[in-house]
Structure 1
Amino acid sequence: MDLTFLLVIAASIAIFVAAAIEVVKRTTNLPTRYLPITSIVVGIFVAIIVTPFSEYDYYTMVVAGAVAGLSACGLFDLTKISKDDSKW
């Protein structure tokens, strides 16, 4: 297993995780401090669901899901920072 494949899987799952977290933010009253944990859990959940359709084992997909959750959380923070810097 090459690290490149893990990052490709995580990048593809991160799109779904970011969309799911946006839905959670808009539909629930969840405090923003719990969103990173929620994104990791959603990433792992999506990776477990996708595992039967891939050629990788559960451990690899769980790690890819956790990386995808962290990536989606960082992507959200990056867009928030860029919106704050736009007033320059």
Structure 2
Amino acid sequence: MQEIMVLATIIAPIIVGLVELIKRSVALKRNFVPLIALLVGLVVGITATPFTTLDIVYRLWAGVFAGLSATGLFELVNQRTGYTKGADEDE
């Protein structure tokens, strides 16, 4: 478990940056941002193969933990409206 948490701590800033890049380039509904972070976390966890000797299941768990911590677990149940990229201003 310690190795999973160490890997999650290392990849969390990468996920934050990638999610922020996605939010600024694509108009998404705000309630989809945690799901995007979770998916990005899974992808980054899988691609961390050259940097760790963990099995793929443990890397996926680290990606899930890092993805959820990147946006905040509370946002999954929080009702959010609107879009991430200026789409609200056009309406």
- TM-score tier after normalising by the smaller chain length: 0.7 to 0.9
How far has the Cα of 1:54 moved from its partner?
A: 1.3
In the alignment, which residue of structure 2 is the partner of 1:63?
A: 61
In the alignment, the residues of structure 2 paired with residue 27 and residue 6 of structure 1 have an alpha-carbon distance, to the nearest angstrom, of 30
In the alignment, the residues of structure 1 paired with residue 57 and residue 50 of structure 2 have an alpha-carbon distance, to the nearest angstrom, of 13
Q: 1:6-25 residue pairs with structure 2 within 5 A?
A: 6-25=4-23
In the alignment, which residue of structure 2 is the partner of 1:31?
A: 29
- TM-score normalised to the size of structure 2? 0.75
Deviations 1:9-54 (Å, cap 9, x if unpaired)?
A: 1011111000001001100001110000000000010111112431
Moved over 4 A (4+): none
**Counterpart amino acid of 2:52?**
S
Gaps of 5+ in 1: 78-88
**Sequence identity percentage:** 35
Deviations 1:53-79 (Å, cap 9, x if unpaired)?
A: 31111000000000000010118x7xx
Which of 34, 45, 48 does residue 47 from structure 1 map onto? Answer: 45
Gaps of 5+ in 2: 76-91
Q: How many residues align?
A: 74
Higher RCO structure, 1 or 2 (CA under 8 Å, sep 6+): 2
- TM-score normalised to the size of structure 1? 0.78
RMSD, aligned α-carbons: 1.5
